[in-house]
Structure 1
Amino acid sequence: MFPGAVADRDEGSFAVVGAPLDASTSFRPGTRFGPRELRHAAHPFEDYDQSTDSCFTDCAVYDHGDIHPTDDVSEYLDFLSGTLAELAGEGLTPLVLGGEHTVTIAALRALDPDVYVCLDAHLDLRESYAGNPLSHATVTHHALDIVDEAIILGARSGSKAEYERAEVADVTLVEPADVPSWEFDRSGDLYLSVDIDAADPGFAPGTGTPEPFGLEPPTMHDVVRTVAPEAVGFDVVEVNDRDDGQTAALGAKLLRAFVYENGQ
């Protein structure tokens, strides 16, 4: 159970759902352990949040447990999407613990937001990667089949074709140096995804494809707190078990920040 997620399903406002998919990780595997690491890292955190004058245990968070993958990724995403849609239909805001970034596709299908906001080191605008159309490198491409706009914050890696695609009007790319001054001014339902590799690997080494010259944790924290009130769902993805827990600690802290702000 995610620490502090003490609500029952029928009284919850948020639903933690583990999605330990680790099928297309292209460098360092281990995202299957992400949900476990994120839950574990949250144990020492204080319940009280001074910024919102609220306690996590009072935020009505329910932990649905993990939905374990099958060999068929497409089938798994369909099942995960159905579960998230069911929870949302009951009035719970999904909080997905990845797993590789591919699981975000399921959440977007379930929630059908207008805007996709993503903290990510990579553009993820490929139609396929290594012959796989459901690779973790294709998430934003799939998102644009659902949303009106994708906002990618902190990206610093992509192919030439991806950067050309990012110049189209339905994509907003904010490079790392510009994220601290980025002003959020969108309306409509949005979905917030935190690919933990948006952080500089000096702060978050426990991820599959670390990319130097990334974001600092306070910047990511500010983005989450700013965007959370307008969000219909949230995930933190691409955490693995290949460090001493600092990456999972960052991800778990960002999830809690989302809950505090979204619940206001």
Structure 2
Amino acid sequence: MMDTVIMAAGKGERLGPREETLPKLFVEVGNKTIFEHQLEALSPLQSTLIDSVVTVVLGYGFVDSPDAEHKLSEYVHIDQRFEYNIVYLENWKEVENSKSALAGVESVDGDDHVLLLCGDVIVSPGQMEEFIQTFYEECSDSAYSAVGAFEGYQSEMTAIRWDTNDVVTDYGAIEGHQEAGMFILHREHVQTAKDRWERSGGEEWFPVVFPEVPSKAIRLDPGEHIEINTQEHLTEGEEILPFEGKNTGHTR
């Protein structure tokens, strides 16, 4: 089985001002919040590929908020098929998302693989299944972690590189391929990742760990993936969603 950690502690300032004091995870896109879309993609995989407990790392809009419990009821505890493990990142303003990853991974069992999802990513249910199934088929037995990615070189955003065997070699503000905000940490790498994130003091992005442990790039279909970072992305998401009829099952 696999644990799921969704990182949604930050404010998401690039998305612009919003009426609700909520992280991007609870922004509506296509008449559903990003979180609802993520649960929709995860729900068919319960009991076969992933555990039914979803860990959500929260900060902005929840830490020190007098109506945090109401927000949890309205935005988080929305699908009775899941159990919810809520982790609060008290110093979310002062740290990068390596601290979110550390807090989330420290709160789960520790004996399972961990699916790490950024709180601004939406994929089709079929794409989620294919990503996880491919990990089990191609990475699990050989002790590789996995990074979801799109082929195609870029030079203006955070990117990853891999070699001819698909092994990840570099990550960061570099020229390379686009990562997709979806990662799987192999159970054998969990302690190494926690140690690495702890040493960073919360000053780095969490994916820096993947070039440092054996990791493979798993190619995703960009037509079944949306990352909501800006108002332009939000408009695009409204036009694309829902992903009806797209990759509704494992195809590899």
TM-score (norm 2): 0.37
